[in-house]
A and B are shown apart, each in its own frame.
Chain A
Amino acid sequence: MERFTFVQKIFLYLGIAVFLTFMLLPFFEMFMASLRPLQHLFRSPYQFWSDDMSFQAYSDIWETVPLLGRYIFNSVFLASVTTFLCMMFVIPAAYSFARFKFKGKTISLGLFLGVNMFAGAVLLIPLYKLLRSMGLLNTYAAMFVPGAAFLVPTGIWLLKAYLEKIPIELEESAWIDGASRMYILRRVVLPLAVPGLIVVGVASFIGAYAQQFLFAITFNQKREYMPLPAGIFEFVGYQSVIWNQLMAASIVGIIPVLIIFLFLQKYLVKGLTKGAVKG
């Protein structure tokens, strides 16, 4: 097929540059603000560069908020547990929807997808009562139990589409050979579904990690269980905000997950391409 001319390529790169600038602008701004000494932050007019920039804030954050490391750990831990719990429910249900014909299938699938319409914020009060009656308030579970529930529908939708693409013949021959149903699911289907499982796992992890704020501030008062998005607001005091440290802590806090993601991202796009996205 025809190639792009030199001029066209320049425009394409320009387009990508503009797009990425928008995507990365806040991170750049956070980084710049984290380098400025606190007094200098409030200097007008705006200075792009100055001599007194330093990495001082990056060592100060650990003293201002001693639990910061714990918050970062909590975030990753909570997201992992949420993902695991979510997958335990998603895998059998998605397999069932992908493979079996039964009465009420369309309706039950519709009901599952309908759950997408409920944001946690709408159901906060009854959820609070529910968690209290189960004795889960102020525990990790107060955050990962509701967190996982809201991720299940999308997980089923993604994994079902992927499982439908796996040829059925293998399961049939395993059945003829006398394999049990659980054996077929565990030893035949799941190994073939690994790319799809990675997609659903990564998507759930991102969902669980990116949306940790609301449940954390509502259902948990204990500081040692706080995830980063809630704990980071400790830099916001009653009187003033230590902005440069807030920015530095934000950057330090997200780096572990960005590194994990760097390794996983190619499986995500690959797995999605292989068929997990279909209407």
Chain B
Amino acid sequence: MSSKNLAYNSLWQRLVRSHAFYAWLLIAPAALFLFTIVGWPLIETVRLSFTNAGLGGEEYIGFYNYEKLFSNRKYPGIVGRTFYWMFLSVSLKMILGLIGALLLNVKLRGRAAFRVLVMPPWIVPMAIGCIGWLWVYNGHFGILAGVLMHLGILDGPFEFLAYRNSAFYSAVITDVWVGTPMVTVFFLAAMQGVSQDLYEAAYVDGASRWYRFRRITIPQIMPVILTMALLSAIWTFNSFEIIWILTEGGPRGATTTMIIDTYKMAIANYKFGYGATRALMVVMLLAIFSLLYLVLLNKVNERFKVK
């Protein structure tokens, strides 16, 4: 809040000071709304995690659910898979988003149209995009297997969603497909916000394109990259619909991430209590991850602070 005039400044400050109440008043509706829809269910989830709630009622059972979860041999694999899923998918989204934004930022004929054509995967309901991918991945009749067979890379039909590895990576590709357009648009907007003078000054000094990209574009849009990476990581960690529609977590658990596992336990098996324990694990791991990310971010920011 910069104000050139001292008199104005003190006036504004008095105004602000007397208006803390007003500030909270403006926030109150949103805060109450979120407390009801997110806060209370979270508290309820914590309570449920200490019960054996199911269709038949509930009883307090202490830490039994937690003990059961931590001694579950399969669970560490699911946690590991979820983080692998997140890192792989988010890295690809960031890289593709950056490349896409660079390509769409170049002054070429047709640029306006290209910018529009990138966006459909973001706008269209995820469930519908996934229906398209279901057919793409179809081993007998889908375009992917069809083209690969024509090229001689595949010598017969191949069901992409039927084998452990191919199903996992197919789901990653679809998730990247859904997430990339938003990242691209935000990066593109950030790139357009970079002052043209910087580039011209560097150009006059004889800096190459690559140098300008590394030393001007990247540092200038870094705040947006870092924010998008965190948001993307959280959304990818929690990504449900894509995996559910493509594979329902199969084949043989190959695409079961923590969120799918939680859903299956709570909704499909009606184990509300045990499901709540798993839901809390998702929340806690994400919270720890986000905090670590923000702490690291602060350290990095301090180190690179100019002057």
A residues within 8 Å of B by Cβ? Answer: 1-2, 4, 9, 12-13, 15-16, 19-20, 22-30, 32-33, 41-48, 75, 88-90, 92-93, 95-97, 99-103, 105, 108, 112, 114-127, 129-130, 145-146, 148-150, 152-154, 156, 168-169, 172, 175-176, 181, 206, 209-214, 218, 227-230, 232, 243, 246-247, 250, 253-254, 257-258, 261-262, 265-266, 268-269, 272-279
Contacts and interface: CB of A to CB of B under 8 A. Distances in A.
18 contacts: A4-B106, A19-B96, A44-B157, A45-B149, A89-B29, A93-B30, A100-B20, A121-B238, A125-B267, A126-B41, A130-B41, A149-B33, A150-B37, A210-B126, A214-B241, A258-B124, A265-B115, A276-B189
A110 B133 CA distance: 37
A210 B124 contact: yes
A276 B181 CA distance: 17
B164 interface: no
A143 B233 CA distance: 25
A117 to B, nearest CB: 5
A228 B36 contact: no
Interface string B266-282: 11000010011001001
Nearest to A235: B131
For chain B, give the interface size range. Answer: 35 or more
A30 B259 contact: no
A279 B125 contact: no
Interface stretch (B64-72, B220-228, B247-255): B220-228
Given A29-B132, A228-B125, A117 B27 contact: no
Chain A facing B: main interface SS: helix
B38 A118 contact: yes
Contact of B283 (A117, A169, A206): A117
Given A100-B23, A126-B48, A172 B8 contact: yes
- Most chain B beta carbons < 10 A, residue from A126, A130, A150, A228: A126
B123 A258 contact: yes
Interface of B: 1, 3, 8, 11-12, 15-16, 19-20, 22-24, 26-27, 29-31, 33-34, 36-38, 40-42, 44-45, 48, 96, 99-100, 103-104, 106, 108, 112, 114-129, 131-133, 135-136, 140-143, 145-147, 149-150, 157, 177, 180-181, 185-186, 188-190, 192-193, 199-200, 203, 209, 223-224, 226-227, 231, 234, 238, 240-241, 245, 259, 262-263, 266-267, 272, 275-276, 279, 282-283, 286-287, 290
B135 A243 contact: yes
Contacts of A145: 37
- Most chain A beta carbons < 10 A, residue from B128, B180, B224: B128
